[in-house]
Each structure stands twice: as structure tokens, then as C-alpha cells.
């Protein structure tokens, strides 16, 4: 495959955009090489500036669950744009999508729309702090909740209960209010509550982690978190930016039958336009301005184009519950196929999957938290990534990412992918 034009465009981009990209994960830094510049996309396929075609397993990092350029969404955006792109006033469409979202997701009465997953999570913890009148939060090492200051906290030496900033620019003052816990380790969470009695406003979690590769919650972990949070009068926040409207109509809350206090959304809810949202029961949401004291706002929040796209997406998912069954079947088929070829070639690997989130870890043992995720063999991953890319299969350019399956994929695409993995396995 030739990447001539992509390489040229990357040189130009680097002159005016830091690292040539507007979001670091696009930069191919973890895998080496030049990022591919995409010209257009349709269904499950991406087409780059050099004329190469790819089967897409990134799908804009989640939103394109029904494929690229999904016609009802595209048409709704075009029709809406003709009538004006932003008013800064309420519109009827905002109520319609809110009603639909509230009807699809368990345990929420009201929802507020923002423009990204970052904003949704950032606003959710402010709301939780205002509501509980407490300041600390618990997050899990390896989980990502957007790039607002409170969440850019790494595990440090691991044993430390107070976070340290992992990005310059995050102050010590902010970092000390973020406590770090180990994913799938309930005793670790309980110890944090014990040593910070009556101080923890919220515990935020990706109910299925997708930002250290895919990591499912083990056994009763989410239910146990629910119990511990209730006992400690701490709000449980499910960051469903990846899982929402993907794992089920009602997201992870529905799939695992566990109620969160606040739920954050992004990705699918915007149908590929910039949308995030956070939602909760009435008592909590009424704490927001203009009803309550917690301030939160946005010039482009509830933007008509974004709402038109999101509304069409949610309607399609709500009216066709079979989509979730199909996604499960297609991803299970892919998983089975990958198992078959990698086992036959004696590759050391682990596959984690929940519904249409799947990842291949080149890891000796089970991958159930950040530490085990970090044990993966990155050199093997790099070869795997570039090998697949050359064969026209585009997975995320980092071992710490989940693949997102789209319903637009055909079984032919899946078979092609499995064959490509079989061939690439010879080079690993």
C-alpha cells in the first residue's frame, strides 16, 4: 500500500498543528509510522487520500455503530443545517432526544447535553461534589474519563492512595482529590473508603473498561461497588461514553442490571457529531443551574445539527433492538475466528470482549486491570497493527484501545479480517 499523499499531508499538518493531529491517539506514536489521512467513509469502510480502502474497526472510536455516512443521520443533518446551524435558544429537538434517551436508559429522569465525553464526565463530578458536599473522587487506574484535570491522574507507584499528576499543568491541589483504585479489586476500593471516611463524593468507573484495551468487570464487581457507594453515601458514576447505546439500549446499567447515580454519555449518542450528555434521577439533576447551585453551561450545547444526528441514531437503535443481537453475533464470530487462527499459530494472546467491544492483548495471562494490561508485548502489537493495516484492516493504533464493531460489517468483511490475522500471525 502507498501512503505517499498521507505522508505529504502529515508534513504540512505538523507545521501548523502540534504533532500534526488534533487528538494524540491519532498520531501513531505508539506503533510508529505516519498517520493515515482519511478522505471519506461509507458503511464499514474507510478510504484514504492515497486511494486505499480499509475495513474500519475504530469507527471514530465508537460513534459509528451503524457504519459511516449512515443515511438517516446524514439526511437529518443536511435538512437541519438548511434551517440554521445554531441559535443559542431552546429547540423542540432537544426535548425530543432527551425524552427518547430517558426512555431508553434505566434509572434516569433528566439529561443534559454537552459537546463531548470530557465535558460530560467533568460536569458529572462537579454535580456529584455539589450534591454530596464532599470533595474527593475515586477513579480506577487505566480508566479514561476525558482530559479534564481531575482525571489525568496516573497510578504512580501503585500503593499510593493520593494521585499524582501525570500531565504537567494538573496541579497538586487537584490531584490530591482524586484517589486511585485498582479495577476489579473491591477490597482496594473498600480500603480507600475506610481511609477517607465521609470525604468521597463520587466513584467514577467505565463499567466495561475500554481505555486499557477491553477489560470486563469481573463477577459481582459492579454490584459490589453499588453497595459500597450506597453505604458511604457516595454517588456511583458510570462513564458510559463507550458503553452507552452500544452494549444494550440502556447501556451497561441494563446489561449488568446495576443502577448508577449519574451516567455519562458520548460517542454513539451524537451519531458522529460532537455530543456528550450526563443524566441522573431528578433530585440530582435539579441541583444544576438554573434550578440549583451547581453551574454548568455551553454555547453549543444541544446544537441543532448535533441533536438531529443524535436523535436519528437513537431512534434507529430504539426501533431495532435486533441491532444489539446482531452486534453480539458478529463480534462473537470475529472472536471465535481470531481464537482459531492465533491458537493454531501458537501466539501468546488473550482476547477480552463484551458485546461489540473487543480487544486482542498480547499478554501471557488474564488481563483484568491496568497492571495486567501493561504486561502486553508492545512489539508484537506493533507488528500486528502494521501487518493488518497493509492488508486493509484498520484497528486502533495502540494496544490500550478497544476495537469497536459496527453493524455495517458483513460476514465477508469478518472472514477477510480473520484471514488477514491468520496471515499476519506468521510475521509475529
List residues binding ligand PMP (CB under 6 A).
61, 116-118, 121, 144-146, 206, 210-211, 239, 241-242, 266, 276
Whole-number Å distance between alpha carbons of 251 and 249 = 6
DSSP assigned state of 217: P
Q: How far is Cα 384 from Cα 427, in angstroms, rounded to an integer?
A: 8
| Contact yes or no for 265/274 (Cβ under 8 A) | no
Whole-angstrom distance, CA of residue 215 vs CA of residue 342: 20
In total, the chain counts a number of residues equal to 428
In the complex, the smallest distance separating the C-beta of residue 352 from ligand PMP, rounded to whole angstroms, is 15
**Torsion sign across C-alpha atoms 243, 362, 36, 33:** positive
Please tell me the distance from the alpha carbon of residue 10 to that of residue 17, in angstroms, as a whole number.
Answer: 10
Shortest Å, Cβ 391 to ligand PMP? 26
Residue 252: count of CB within 10 angstroms of its CB: 27
Q: DSSP string of 86-103? A: --SS--HHHHHHHHHHHH
Q: Which is nearer to ligand PMP, 142 or 276 (CB)?
A: 276
Cα distances from 99 to residues 93, 214, 236, 315, 333, in angstroms, run 10, 31, 23, 11, 35
Does the annotation mark 183 as catalytic?
A: no
Cell of residue 42, nine digits = 461509507
- Least Cα distance to 249 among 300, 298, 313, 307 occurs for 313
Q: Which of 57, 144, 287, 400 is catalytic?
A: 144
Q: From the candidates 110, 249, 267, 391, give the one annotated as an active-site residue.
A: 267
Measured from the CB atom, is 56 or 377 closer to ligand PMP? 56
Min dist CB 140 to ligand PMP, Å, is 11
Question: CA 163, CA 150: separation in Å to the nearest integer?
Answer: 9
Nearer to ligand PMP, 182 or 391 (CB): 182
* Whether residue 57 lies in the annotated active site: no
Rounded distance between C-alpha atoms, residue 73 and residue 85, angstroms: 15
Nearer to ligand PMP, 241 or 399 (CB): 241
111 within 8 A of 98, measured Cβ to Cβ? yes
| Choice between 252 and 338, CB closer to ligand PMP | 252
Q: Which is nearer to ligand PMP, 6 or 118 (CB)?
A: 118
**Residue 419 Cβ, how far from ligand PMP at the closest point, in Å?**
30
CB of 270 to ligand PMP, least distance (A): 9
Q: Report which DSSP code applies to 249.
A: T
Closest distance to ligand PMP from the beta carbon of 264 (Å): 7
Q: Is 54 noted as a catalytic residue in this protein?
A: no
**Which one of the listed residues 48, 177, 239, 369 is annotated catalytic?**
239
Among all residues, which ones are annotated catalytic? 144, 239, 267
Amino acid at each position: 500500500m502507498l501512503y505517499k499523499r498521507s505522508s505529504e499531508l502529515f508534513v504540512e499538518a505538523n507545521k501548523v498543528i502540534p504533532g500534526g493531529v488534533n487528538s494524540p491517539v491519532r498520531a501513531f506514536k505508539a506503533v510508529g509510522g505516519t498517520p493515515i489521512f482519511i478522505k471519506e467513509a461509507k458503511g464499514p469502510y474507510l478510504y484514504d487520500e492515497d486511494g486505499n480502502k480499509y475495513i474500519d474497526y475504530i469507527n471514530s472510536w465508537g460513534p459509528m455503530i451503524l457504519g459511516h455516512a449512515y443515511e438517516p443521520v446524514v439526511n437529518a443533518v443536511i435538512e437541519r443545517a438548511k434551517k440554521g446551524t445554531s441559535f443559542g435558544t431552546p429547540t423542540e429537538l432537544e426535548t425530543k432526544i432527551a425524552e427518547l434517551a430517558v426512555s431508553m436508559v434505566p434509572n434516569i429522569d433528566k439529561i443534559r447535553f454537552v459537546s463531548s465525553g470530557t465535558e460530560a464526565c467533568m460536569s458529572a463530578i462537579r454535580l456529584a461534589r455539589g450534591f454530596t458536599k464532599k470533595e474527593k473522587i475515586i477513579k480506577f487506574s487505566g480508566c479514561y474519563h476525558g482530559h479534564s484535570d481531575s482525571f489525568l491522574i496516573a497510578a504512580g507507584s501503585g500503593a499510593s492512595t493520593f494521585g499524582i499528576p501525570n500531565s504537567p499543568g494538573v496541579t497538586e491541589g487537584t490531584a490530591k482529590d482524586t484517589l486511585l483504585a485498582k479495577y476489579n479489586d473491591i477490597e482496594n476500593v473498600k480500603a480507600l473508603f475506610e481511609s477517607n471516611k465521609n470525604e468521597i463524593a463520587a466513584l467514577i468507573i467505565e463499567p466495561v473498561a475500554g481505555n486499557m484495551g477491553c477489560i470486563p468487570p469481573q463477577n459481582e464487581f459492579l454490584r459490589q461497588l453499588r453497595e459500597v457507594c450506597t453505604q458511604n453515601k457516595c454517588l456511583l458514576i458510570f462513564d458510559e461514553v463507550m458503553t452507552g447505546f452500544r452494549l444494550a439500549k440502556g447501556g451497561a446499567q441494563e446489561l449488568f442490571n446495576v443502577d448508577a447515580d449519574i451516567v455519562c454519555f458520548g460517542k454513539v449518542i451524537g451519531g458522529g457529531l460532537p455530543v456528550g450528555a450526563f443524566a441522573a434521577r431528578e433530585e440530582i439533576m435539579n441541583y444544576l443551574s438554573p434550578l440549583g447551585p451547581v453551574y454548568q453551561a455551553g454555547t453549543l450545547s444541544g446544537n441543532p445539527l448535533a441533536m438531529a444526528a443524535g436523535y436519528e441514531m437513537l431512534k434507529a437503535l430504539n426501533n431495532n433492538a435486533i441491532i444489539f443481537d446482531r452486534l453480539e453475533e458478529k463480534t462473537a464470530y470475529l472472536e471465535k475466528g481470531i481464537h482459531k487462527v492465533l491458537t493454531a499459530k501458537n501466539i501468546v494472546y488473550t482476547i477480552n470482549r463484551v458485546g461489540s467491544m473487543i480487544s486482542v492483548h498480547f499478554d501471557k495471562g488474564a488481563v483484568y486491570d491496568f497492571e495486567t494490561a501493561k504486561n502486553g508485548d508492545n512489539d508484537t502489537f506493533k507488528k500486528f497493527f502494521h501487518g493488518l493495516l497493509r492488508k486493509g484492516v484498520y484497528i486502533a493504533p495502540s494496544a490500550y484501545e478497544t476495537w469497536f464493531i459496527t453493524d455495517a460489517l458483513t460476514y465477508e468483511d469478518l472472514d477477510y479480517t480473520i484471514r488477514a490475522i491468520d496471515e499476519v500471525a506468521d510475521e509475529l
